[in-house]
Amino acid sequence: MTEREKYRTPGKRRRRTKGAGALFQRKDGMWIGRVEVPDELDPKRYRSQVSAADKAIALEKLEQLKLDIAQGVEQIKMGVTVETWMLQWVEHKKPHLAPKVYKSYLATARQQIIPAIGNVRLPHLKPAHIRYLVEYCTTATKEIVVDGEKQAVPKWKSRTIQVAYDRIKQALDDARKERPPLVRENVAELVPRPKAVSEEIPHHTAEQARAVISTALHRRNPYVSLIAARYLTAMRRGELLGLEEDRIDFDNLTIDKSWQLQWLPLKEGMKYSDDPDRYDAPRDYEVRPLYYGAALVRPKSRKSYLIPMPPELAAILQVYLETREPNEYGLVWASGKGKPIQFASDAELWEDAQAAAEVPIIPGHGGRHTANNLLEIPEDDRMKILGQSTVTANRIYRKVNLDRARAGMGEFSRLLLPEVIVPKELRR
């Protein structure tokens, strides 16, 4: 080497064009293709890379990587898994969901989606993964004890599986709408939506319902009026437990079920607070605070409407309201301490009433479906009374013919209730 060459100032190395990428071989023989990806929201430098043992394959992957970046697929987040995105997505949705719905979204993500395909990276999702999710939920089992023996039964119902599919489809659709998008396409759209099989909800016959009410009456059950209302109005549990005195019209024999009781999650540090803003709920969520986590919220329909009240039930409620101890919340039914009734306590008293009458034990909404099966009135009026919102019940928002519906419910209640429940002074 000459003296001139020895001390010559080296020239500047020519920089590669941004996004052109680099291909090199590591000491272990693997070929690495790497592209620098700028992020306008973060000044840090990010590199996305591919690898292969064969140089030609690595080069092919590198070209695909550059094409993906040019098309907007966010390669800096290629490591984001379904689990990470689902949990982020649910939190993004939280401000727009009712607390109960948010809890349902989170449960679906944690119990069905994440255990099945949570470790798959978003851009690597294929229709096969969605089919596996459906299969995973369909074949999962749990053990129950029947007559002293353990039996394996399906862990989730078909509707739960359908909801899991709906949630991953929603989440992927929003991932595609991100800028830059997180996925190339919504692969859930390429897989048929699983069907939900309608299951008959257990309910009581008229004779069994009459036995429950009669037994509660003879045992002086303080909640006999609540038990009767569960059968005779087909109201949901929250609507019953959140019913206020001033929403019962004895003159016109109607009940306004525009509010329902819910136990809502509280913000951190507000467990025993009476701050009206203590609930962890969206800002536009209509809440009327009651007692700690208890509050009145709008029902699912978000529409106030009246339902007819059978004369027999009106008689029971009049006697009950005249003799019971009022509570500070104006609720028709309250706990022994005058507080809103916990859902668990309601379930217990409902089960005890059935056990005392020696009838099959059915869940609380079984009483609602007892009314649904026994009310002999036109379908559109019955659907209005029950507040159901299926496709076949779109007429729910019509104004119900109260006189016709009340006549139908009167026939039902006469079938259901023995005359002894109606005091003489209130009989017609």
Q: What is the enclosing helix (H) or strand (E) of 383?
A: helix 379-386
Cβ atoms 291, 274 nearer than 8 A:
no
SS3 for 2?
Answer: coil
The verdict on pTM exceeding 0.75 is no
Residue 202 has a pLDDT of 85
Cβ atoms 277, 264 nearer than 8 A:
no
- Kindly give, in sequence order, each residue whose CB lies less than 8 Å from that of residue 52, ignoring residues fewer than 6 positions away: 30, 31, 58, 61
Strands (E), 5-163: 22-25, 31-39, 42-52, 141-146, 149-154
Closest CA to 319 of 425, 211, 428: 425
How far apart, in whole angstroms, are the C-alpha atoms of residue 148 and residue 2? 96
How far apart, in whole angstroms, are the C-alpha atoms of residue 274 and residue 179? 42
- Kindly give, in sequence order, each residue whose CB lies less than 8 Å from that of residue 10, ignoring residues fewer than 6 positions away: none
DSSP secondary structure letter of residue 146: E
Tokens of 84: 């990470």
How far apart, in whole angstroms, are the C-alpha atoms of residue 195 and residue 158? 7
Query: Could you write out the DSSP letters of every residue in 227-260?
Result: HHHHHHH---HHHHHT-BGGGEETTTTEEE---E
Name the burial class of residue 400, with classes exposed (0-12), middle (13-18) and buried (19+) by CB atoms within 10 angstroms of its CB.
buried
Cβ atoms 310, 412 nearer than 8 A:
yes
- Ramachandran quadrant class, 231 (left: phi over 0; alpha: psi -120 to 50; beta: rest): alpha
pLDDT in tens, the chain (428 residues): 565 555 555 555 555 555 567 889 998 999 998 887 655 444 455 567 788 899 999 999 888 888 877 766 544 455 689 999 999 999 999 999 999 999 999 999 999 999 999 999 998 899 999 999 999 999 999 988 877 888 899 999 999 999 999 999 999 999 988 877 788 889 999 999 999 987 777 888 888 888 888 888 888 888 888 998 998 888 899 999 999 999 999 888 899 999 999 999 999 888 888 888 899 998 888 899 999 999 999 887 656 578 888 877 888 888 888 888 889 999 999 998 899 999 999 999 999 999 999 999 988 888 777 776 665 556 665 555 555 544 333 332 234 566 666 666 666 565 566 555 555 555 55
How far apart, in whole angstroms, are the C-alpha atoms of residue 275 and residue 277? 5
DSSP secondary structure letter of residue 338: S
